[in-house]
Amino acid sequence: MTSHIHERKTVSPYLTFVIVHAMLFGIDFLFLVIKPIQMAGQDAWTGVLLCSVGIHIVIVMMYSILNRHRTDLMHIHIRLFGQGIGMMLNMIFTVYFLFVSVYQVRLFIEVIQVWVFPELKTWSLALVLLLIAYYIISGGFRVIVGICMFSLINTLFFVTIFFMIPYFHFNNLLPAMSHSPHDIFGATKDLTTSYMGIETLLFCYPFIKTPEKSQKWAHWGVLSMTLIYVVEVIFTIITFKTEQLSDELWPGLTKYKFIQFPFVERFEFIGSSATILRLFPVICLSIWVSNRIMKFTFAIRQRKVLPFMLGLVFIATCLIPNRVGVDLVHSWIRQSGISVIFGYIPALFLFDISRTKVKKTK
Amino acid sequence: MFDIPKIWEEFRESSDFVYLRQSNHVDHYLICFLKSITDINVLNEQILDFISKNAGLLFDELFEELPIAEKELSSDWDEIRNKLLLGYVAIQQAPTAETILLNASSSKGRTVSKPEIEFNVEGSKEALVESLDINLNLIRKRLPVASLRIKELHVGDVSKSRVAICYIEDITNEQYIQTCLQRIGDIQFDTVTDITVIQQIMEDNSNSIFPQMLGTERTDRIVWGLTLGQVCIVVDGSPNAILGPVTFQHFFASYEDYYLPWLIGSIIRMIRFTSVMFSILASSVYVAVLTYHGHGISNAFLPTIIASRINVPFPPVVEVLIMELAIELLREAGARLPSKIGQTIGIVGGIVLGTAAVQASLTSNFLLIIVALSAMASFTTPVFRMSNTIRILRFPFILFAQLWGLLGIFMCSIIVVTHLLRLTSLGMPYLVPFYPLRLKSLTDTIIRPPYSKFHQRPGFYRTKNPARFDKRKSNLKNDIDE
């Protein structure tokens, strides 16, 4: 029961790097450093490294499962747990990915409402964003990955971090290693949110030409993002005091205030508008995944489910009224993300290994 | 003597139909032709002259001895009728059913002249004309290889236009040739007056404003495309050919880039890319900044803008739309008028109206500069259809900028990028080699590399023979002091 994807619809293995990079460089990036730094202070960067090691192990596990079955997670579910439970697990993942996209859309609208248009109505922007998402997703996987690739120009904005060099206080980094392992592990756990998104690879797998070769690229993607996270964390530590940071909601956007060009006085308008490039890869891939699962489960055309799905996302987005609601959803997402990445995938891995061993001994 | 056979009845209604009874005292012939497309000199000096001097020949002997290169003996009425419409002369003798068909067609048309749309300073000054035969002659003259194949099809029930599909057999990917042949074969439209008709019908997505085939009138560009692995389509009656498959960046490469030293060519090409970006974005950024992000402008710059806009009664978007429409109006008026009046229109519209509009406080100086610059920038696009696209593309950007400011501009660019990602040209992705990324083929995109680096054909054409020449032989350099 392997899913056959026409070769014209598949993408080259190196694009796994692009997918991972775009998924991990989401809007969360703009504020993910706050909590780890509050917990582990100047040692937060060790948390990033620890978390990255954990993610690499998870990727090894994921590819071990995928390579053994040579298909995507929804088929594996059915194969391992049978029709009933497998289907239920698939539906849980649909809901999970829908929630992720709802959260991302609402978060983006929050950014725009705080930084650019305070008066903007949630529904109007959500409507436009989801219409654009419809256009992208109906183009298929290749187009979505193309948008991921286009969003990589966002990395250019990361370079603007060097405008802050005059404001650096390197003393902030000292004393090094003064926090307890408990604090550092707390920071690590919190940072897992920033690595959320790699679980989409479980569903993209059959869409990659020679998918076995893509593992290397997934690791490279995580590695490059780790580098960016470490730089971001260190630069935040040496720019802000820890107390200052507790007043900040979006340190990733605040740093744009340091930037000045002869023409442009306030770069944060450009910077926060460009956040849209972080949004689309994440929501398009997430909605696409839940769409695929729906198609697989109920045997309906993706074209027909898609407007329905987007409608759900639209309604859910409009139902989150304010910052408090966003925070609440964020904490749900964080919990479920951590349990998927560090709970469910390792468990599935162990189950799969033991199952094959039992089969062999029989 | 005999009456005109019934088969000619349908032609007798046309005044250019001629039927002669020609005799040389021994034999009597009926000669029919359409004088509008037949060369009377050939008829007089070769056919009639021969008949009158050679009495007593059998019909078959006459056919064999007539000094005309293209001749046929036919009894199929459909063929006779079609040939007559192409300028053949039909000769019949009373008792026989057979008809001799002699090609005496004359085609009147332009002679080969300078390119007018894709003008250039350096390089050849030879452009296609309306006659298919002359065009094919121009192409084949530049490519004296046996593997250059020309497949001719007839398209259109009424116009019966001759369409030639040219490609180099041992380079071009079979799939592209088959796609072209099939799509042209499938065309149902009855009248094909120009290559653009075929282009619009056969393009992958005919609802897109982006051209997916490259129209050109330059023979050197056609030859360059053929040798890289493209297919070229020429239609009788059109002074343009189309090349395909193409990618997005081809539309911003002027062929003259290849005639300039590679550094200069590359710099000019990069300027062109920047100007296209400027042309699309400038006026929408103006709308976005002045409508929503006024405090984003630096203090040094703000007084200039305020001073120039202080008396303008309109909101920025109305101001921009008026000016953009005025420029489009000027362009359209200039294009529809004879060239001498066109220049006058340019002066009246550009200078008089521009200055007057600013003095009347209908627009700001600042915007006038932006709009004029972006109009000029859009004309740097070397392919006409693409420069139309660039001009039209500005308007959605202005609309989105008015609705959501800079965010709207980002949204619109995502929509455009998605659209480009979805497009294909003869099945080849439109944005290749940027997406999917093909590092080796990236050389001839934004920069124009030196010829020594052109040792391979771009990989995305999937040619049968990727190597253009042996790289090892060309790259040998002497060591220092040797």
- pLDDT above 50 for A53: yes
Asked whether the beta carbons of B118 and B382 are under 8 A apart, the reply is yes
Mutate to test the interface with A, among B410, B414, B428 (most CBs of A within 10 A): B414
Instruction: Say yes or no: B437 contacts chain A, CB-CB below 8 A.
Output: yes
Report the predicted TM-score, pTM, of the whole model to 2 decimal places: 0.91
Interacting residues of B142 by C-beta distance below 8 A, sequence separation 6+ = B219, B220, B223
Backbone angles phi, psi at B16, to 5 degrees: -90, 5
Q: What Å distances lie between residue A252 and A31, A70, A159, A224, CA to CA?
A: 6, 39, 12, 18
Task: Say what the pLDDT of residue A263 is.
Answer: 79
State the best of A108, A260, A265 to mutate against chain B, taking most chain B CBs within 10 Å. A265
CB A115 within 8 A of CB A268: yes
Contact yes or no for B421 and A139 at CB 8 A: yes
Count Cβ–Cβ pairs < 8 Å, chain A vs chain B: 87
pLDDT cut 90: percent of chain A above it: 49
Select from B416, B435, B460 the residue whose CB has the most chain A CBs within 10 Å, as the one to mutate to test that interface.
B435
Token code pair at residue B67: 């000094």
In angstroms, the CA B214 to CA B241 distance is: 8
- How many Å apart are CA B469 and CA B179, to the nearest integer? 28
Q: What is the pLDDT of residues B14-44, one digit of tens each?
A: 888 888 888 877 888 888 888 888 888 888 8
Please tell me the predicted confidence (pLDDT) of residue A1. 40
* Cβ burial B218-243 (10 Å sphere, 16+ → b, else e): bbbbbbbbbbbbbbbbbbbebbbbbb
Number of domains in chain A: 1
Measured distance CA(B442)–CA(B454) in Å, rounded: 11
Enumerate the β-bridge partners of residue A264.
B297
Q: Which of A112, A135, A277 sits opposite B418 (nearest CB)?
A: A135
Q: Are A105 and A313 in contact (CB under 8 A)?
A: yes
Q: Which domain holds residue A213?
A: 7-350
Nearest CA of chain B to the CA of A184: how many Å?
38
Phi-psi region of A284 (alpha: psi -120 to 50; beta: other; left: phi over 0): alpha
Q: Which residue stretches of chain A are H helix? A: 15-24, 34-40, 44-69, 73-115, 122-137, 141-150, 154-159, 181-191, 201-204, 214-239, 242-246, 251-254, 268-273, 276-298, 302-319, 323-338, 345-361
In chain B, which stretches have pLDDT less than 50? Answer: 1-2
What is the distance in angstroms between the Cα of A314 and the nearest Cα belonging to chain B?
Answer: 18
Alpha carbon of residue A229 to chain centroid = 13
**Residues with Cβ < 8 Å from A302, sequence gap 6 or more?**
A291, A292, A294, A295
Please answer whether residues A342 and A332 qualify as being in contact, where contact means their C-beta atoms are separated by less than 8 angstroms.
Answer: no
**pLDDT by residue (tens digit) across A310-355?**
999 999 999 988 888 888 998 999 899 999 999 999 999 999 999 8
Contacts of A273 in chain B (CB under 8 A): 405-407, 409-410
Mean pLDDT taken over chain A: 89
What does the longest C-alpha to C-alpha distance in chain B come to? 103
Distance separating alpha carbons of residues A312 and A309, to the nearest angstrom: 5
| Residue A19 lies inside a defined structural domain of this protein | yes
Provide the ipTM.
Answer: 0.93
Nearest CA in chain B to A272: B407
CA–CA separation, A104 and B294 (whole Å): 29
Interface list for chain A against chain B, based on CB atoms closer than 8 Å: 11-12, 14-15, 112, 116-117, 125, 128-129, 132, 135-136, 139, 142-143, 146-147, 149-150, 260-266, 269-270, 273-274, 276-277, 280
Amino acid at B418: T
Structural domain spans, chain B: 6-103, 132-246, 264-429
Which tokens in the block code for residue B79?
């063929």
Q: Is residue A2 part of a domain?
A: no
Long-range pairs, A181-185, Cβ under 8 A, ≥24: A183/A39, A183/A40, A183/A41, A183/A43, A184/A39, A184/A40, A184/A43, A184/A46, A184/A47, A184/A50, A185/A47, A185/A50
Tokens of B314: 């309109």
Q: B406 — contact with chain A (CB < 8 Å)?
A: yes
Contacts of A19 (CB under 8 A, 6+ apart): A145, A148, A200, A201, A204, A221, A281, A285
- Entry field: residues in chain A: 362
Judge: B414–A276 Cβ closer than 8 Å, yes or no: yes
How confident is the model at residue B2, as a pLDDT?
45
Cβ count near A90 (within 10 Å): 22
Stretch A3-18: mean pLDDT, rounded? 84
Distances in Å between the Cα of A251 and the Cα atoms of A35, A114, A265, B436 are 11, 13, 19, 34
The count of other CB atoms within 10 Å of the CB of residue A258 is: 17
β-sheet with B88-93: strand ranges across: B17-23, B28-34, B88-93, B99-103, B71-74
Report the C-alpha gap between A354 and A350 in whole angstroms: 6
Question: What pLDDT sits at residue B283?
Answer: 93
Pairing of strands B99-103, B88-93: antiparallel
Contact (Cβ atoms closer than 8 angstroms) between residue B281 and residue B371:
no
pLDDT in tens, A183-226: 888 888 888 888 888 889 999 999 998 888 899 999 999 999 99
Q: Please give the DSSP secondary-structure letter assigned to residue A230.
A: H
- The CA R_g of chain B, rounded to the nearest whole Å, is 30
Would residue A360 count as lying in a domain? no
Assign B214 to helix, strand or coil: strand
| pLDDT of res. B137 | 92
Find the helix packing angle between A214-239 and A44-69, rounded to 10°.
Answer: 170
Q: How far apart are CA A282 and CA A148, in angstroms?
A: 8
CB < 8 Å to B300, chain A: 262
Q: For residues A138-150, b (16+ Cβ closer than 10 Å) or e, as one string?
A: ebbbbbbbbbbbb
Contact B436 A12 (CB under 8 A): yes
Q: Is residue A292 part of a domain?
A: yes
- How close A285 gets to chain B, by Cα (Å)? 14
Find, among B390, B399, B136, B133, the residue nearest to B274 by Cα: B390
Residue A132 and residue B415: Cβ atoms within 8 Å? yes
For residues B99 and B103, what is the distance between their CA atoms, to the nearest angstrom?
Answer: 13
- Chain B residues within 8 A of A136 when measuring between CB atoms: 414, 418
Token readout for B89 is 């002369």
